[in-house]
Amino acid sequence: MAAFSPDDHGPETLVLGIETSCDETAVACVRGGGEVLSSVVSSQVDLHARYGGVVPEVASRAHNELIIAVLAQSMVEAGVEGSDVDAVAATTGPGLIGALLVGVSAAKALALTWDVPFVSVNHLEAHFYAALLEEPDLEFPLVVLLVSGGHTMIVEMSGHGDYRLLGQTLDDAAGEAFDKVARFLGLGYPGGPAIDTAALKGDPEAIHFPRSMLNEGYDFSFSGLKTAVVNHVREHPDVSTEDIAASFQAAVVEVLVAKAQRAAKASGAKALALGGGVAANSLLRELFLGACANDGIQGFLPSRAMCTDNAAMIASAGWYRLGADGPSALSTGANPRARMF
């Protein structure tokens, strides 16, 4: 691997990022941690829809087929050649092992070929960087509500790389709850957008579903809510699907917003940001901004493309990691259960 010194790291440093932890094959070119030259995402959602969820083996095979084309498109769109790239970053975990291995192997091969550093990136840290990537002026301490298909957590970021976990889900992730309820209601996959759309035609007050642990700390629990939906539909088979979707969504969003708002106040945060796929939810986006305005705190909603999995956030987090820790060893493997806390 090329020798690396801190002088090699600055606003001109171009990091090529690769993300293959789940069902998106993504490659991005980002300069100086913040200037996105290209961000290409190829979603496999259609491949998995017929199974009602991500099939790990199908995902890894699709990553294998797509990675070279996505890489080429990202470099062409950015107008860069291999000799322009200063480091290659990839998600090493958490995620699906077979899927992760495709991106990690590609990144190591490119780093070796171009003789530049390889940088291992934790997928969750990258989601925290998504907000900063679009709004570099966000002030610390920053509280991030990360709500995705695999994770639901509230994290305080006091500075770059300085995190404190304030709360997390004790069972299902918020996105997982959306996906499971949508599947039960026959709304298809992925469930979040399907419930979001159905809820537009429903009454959020039609059924009062439980708001688990609303006033207790910063941890979440969504499995009881999912059971409450199932029980309600079994007891009232004629209930409107739109009313169920709207009432379920209102219950999830109320808890998410209340806890994030309380955590931000308690930690004296200057700004509150959303991250993860569920941050694309229209009701969450609306109530989140309303809560921030009420509390006089800077609220930031990344674009929908930056909320869902992408490689620009990997390249951005990779740029900060490279500056803080230097290159990662080429022996660093994919770790499906990589932890941040």
Closest of 130, 140, 125, 135 to residue 264, by C-alpha? 140
Cα–Cα distances (Å) from 21 to 61, 124, 154, 311, in that order, read: 13, 11, 21, 10
Q: Least distance to ligand KG4 from the beta carbon of 333, Å?
A: 20
Q: Least distance to ligand KG4 from the beta carbon of 21, Å?
A: 7
Task: Tell me the backbone φ, ψ of residue 157, rounded to 5 degrees.
Answer: -110, 110
Q: Least distance to Zn ion from the beta carbon of 125, Å?
A: 11
Could you give the CA distance from residue 169 to residue 119 in angstroms, rounded to a whole number?
29
Q: Is 309 in the site for Zn ion (CB under 5 A)?
A: yes
Radius of gyration of the chain (CA): 20
Q: Least distance to Zn ion from the beta carbon of 223, Å?
A: 21
Taking CB under 5 A as the binding criterion, the range among 43-51, 196-204, 212-220, 303-311 that sits at the site for Zn ion is 303-311
Q: Which is nearer to ligand KG4, 41 or 110 (CB)?
A: 41
Q: Binding mask 120-149 vs Zn ion (x if CB under 5 A, - otherwise)?
A: ----------------------------x-
Beta bridge partners of 315: none
Helix ranges, the chain (H) = 45-49, 56-78, 97-114, 123-134, 174-185, 191-199, 223-235, 241-266, 282-295, 304-307, 312-325
Q: Which residues contact 137 (CB under 8 A, 6 or more apart)?
A: none
328 binds, among ligand KG4, Zn ion, none (CB under 5 to 8 A by kind): none
Q: Least distance to ligand KG4 from the beta carbon of 285, Å?
A: 9
Q: Which is nearer to Zn ion, 107 or 126 (CB)?
A: 126
Q: Which is nearer to Zn ion, 122 or 261 (CB)?
A: 122
Binding site for ligand KG4 (CB under 6 A): 22, 148-150, 175, 178-179, 190-193, 196, 276-278, 280-281, 308-309
Q: Which residues bind Zn ion (CB under 5 A)?
A: 148, 309
